[in-house]
Amino acid sequence: MESRRKFLQKMALPALALPFLPSPSWANLQKPFISPYQGPVLRVAIMGLGGYGTRVADAMKDCQKAKLVGVISGTPSKVKDWQSKYGIPAKNCYNYENFDQVKNNPDIDAIYVITPNALHHDQVIRSAKAGKHVICEKPMALNAKEGQEMIDACKQANVKLLVGYRMHFEPKTLEVIRMREAGELGEIKFFQGLVGFRVGDPAQWRLNKDLAGGGSMMDIGIYAINGARYMIGEEPVWVTAQETKTDPTKFKQGVDETIQFQLGFPGGATASCLSTYNMNNLDKFFLNGANGFAEMQPSTNYGPIKGRTHKGELSQPHVTHQTVQMDEMASIILEGKQVVVPVDGEEGLKDLKIIDAIYQAVKTGNKIPLKS
């Protein structure tokens, strides 16, 4: 891929003229010929080479503005695999002891932190101190206090901090948001977000409080929280929540199996959400307005997202979420691009404040007021 990309970039202008030439075999290749990108490219190192890291790396092969150039991992065999799979030079490979030295590496612009939640705080701050922009998987931290510290550290280091909210770039999601903002749904009354899956291997980090910081709420649950906010388009003013645990062996103290939570919004809308590690592939959004509605199912998985509104089926094309996300994030970081739904640290912090309040509501049984 590496050498072909460079080749294509060099060939870009002549390639544009191809329609007037006989078609050679390589003329059928793909997009770069038709729309060659000549602008700046965000050179990214991925920290954490697990399943989702691999998904992002694969998706980045199709990016125009972002490029995977480095890795940070504690597992040398994984580094070796990635080097050969993604063409990563040895000088761009780090481990968790030495990655602060990335500050001396001019060939890496940003670090994408894709590690267990509990590690984000320190890793993001170290990345910022190394002078690199940071993209952090969601939830960005274990609580709002950590999130604020990460924002502050990035500000102080004069680097950008983004959070991996891939749904903020998903075409059907953006169409529903456009419809709401255009008033096509009328006054927004209700949002429902049901998200969850049945968690497998009981030994995985997701079920380890020390690494995950919680249970389903710290993982899949954030899709419902974040979804409620971008679908309703307001910041909630209160939250109530109830926990249900049917398997205390698998879901230990501090690791939530199922939490229902409800949000109240200043305009009078309410949200009813469920986050679970104990139901099969639950992934439903429903937004109800005075004059229309939107239903999405699946609503937040890797797609294709499916949905309909009172006007009919949503027909926006599926795109690989992580490809678009990384191209868009490159534009945000490199060109200061403004996007419809923010993906910055402040956005991540808003979700963390709600997560804090949800756990407080579960613990106390009280309705917790929220300040935006």
Task: Examine residue 276 and tell whether it contacts a copy of itself (CB under 8 A).
Answer: yes
Q: Which of 25, 249, 280, 338 binds a copy of itself (CB under 8 A)?
A: 280
Closest CA to 323 of 134, 60, 136: 60
Q: Which of 11, 18, 211, 279 binds a copy of itself (CB under 8 A)?
A: 279
DSSP 72-117: E-S-HHHHHHHHHHHT--GGGEE-TTTGGGGGG-TT--EEEE-S-H
The H or E element spanning position 152 is: helix 144-157
Q: Which of 103, 209, 284, 308 binds a copy of itself (CB under 8 A)?
A: 284
Residues known to be catalytic:
138, 223
What are the structure tokens assigned to 141, written together?
Answer: 């931290």
Cβ proximity to a copy of itself: between 134 and 358 the closer is: 358
Task: Examine residue 190 and tell whether it contacts a copy of itself (CB under 8 A).
Answer: yes
Cβ proximity to a copy of itself: between 119 and 207 the closer is: 207
Q: How far is the CB of 230 from a copy of itself (least distance, A)?
A: 20
Q: Which of 36, 344, 366, 370 binds a copy of itself (CB under 8 A)?
A: 366
Task: Examine residue 240 and tell whether it contacts a copy of itself (CB under 8 A).
Answer: yes
Q: How far is the CB of 263 from a copy of itself (least distance, A)?
A: 10
Task: Examine residue 246 and tell whether it contacts a copy of itself (CB under 8 A).
Answer: yes
Using CA atoms, how far residue 369 sits from 189, 239, 256, in Å, is 19, 7, 22
Report how far residue 275's alpha carbon sits from residue 326's, in angstroms, rounded to the nearest whole number: 27
Q: Which of 112, 230, 286, 359 binds a copy of itself (CB under 8 A)?
A: 286
Residue whose token pair is 């407080």? 360
Task: Examine residue 274 and tell whether it contacts a copy of itself (CB under 8 A).
Answer: yes
Residue whose token pair is 């969850």? 196
DSSP 177-208: HHHHHTTTT-SEEEEEEEEE-----TTSGGG-
Task: Examine residue 215 and tell whether it contacts a copy of itself (CB under 8 A).
Answer: no
Cβ proximity to a copy of itself: between 16 and 290 the closer is: 290
Using CA atoms, how far residue 143 sits from 175, 194, 333, 362, in Å, is 31, 22, 25, 15
Specify whether the CB–CB gap between 192 and 289 falls below 8 A.
Answer: no
Q: How far is the CB of 100 from a copy of itself (least distance, A)?
A: 46
Q: How far is the CB of 57 from a copy of itself (least distance, A)?
A: 34
Long-range contact set of residues 74-79: C-beta below 8 Å, sequence gap at least 24:
75/49, 78/49, 79/49
Task: Examine residue 301 and tell whether it contacts a copy of itself (CB under 8 A).
Answer: no
Cis status of the peptide bond prior to 202, with omega within 30 of 0: no
What are the structure tokens assigned to 66, written together?
Answer: 């972002």
Task: Examine residue 30 and tell whether it contacts a copy of itself (CB under 8 A).
Answer: no
Q: Which of 268, 337, 340, 363 binds a copy of itself (CB under 8 A)?
A: 268
Task: Examine residue 197 and tell whether it contacts a copy of itself (CB under 8 A).
Answer: no
Q: How far is the CB of 279 from a copy of itself (least distance, A)?
A: 5
Q: Which residues contact 346 (CB under 8 A, 6 or more apart)?
A: 151
Cβ proximity to a copy of itself: between 80 and 189 the closer is: 189
Binding residues for a copy of itself, total number by CB under 8 A: 29
Specify whether the CB–CB gap between 52 and 75 falls below 8 A.
Answer: no
Closest CA to 333 of 126, 57, 109, 141: 109
Task: Examine residue 216 and tell whether it contacts a copy of itself (CB under 8 A).
Answer: no
Task: Examine residue 143 and tell whether it contacts a copy of itself (CB under 8 A).
Answer: no
Q: How many residues does the chain have?
A: 372
Task: Examine residue 290 and tell whether it contacts a copy of itself (CB under 8 A).
Answer: yes
Q: How far is the CB of 214 from a copy of itself (least distance, A)?
A: 18
Binding site for a copy of itself (CB under 8 A): 189-190, 192, 194, 198, 240, 242, 244, 246, 258, 260, 262, 264, 268, 270, 272, 274, 276, 278-280, 282, 284, 286, 288, 290, 365-367
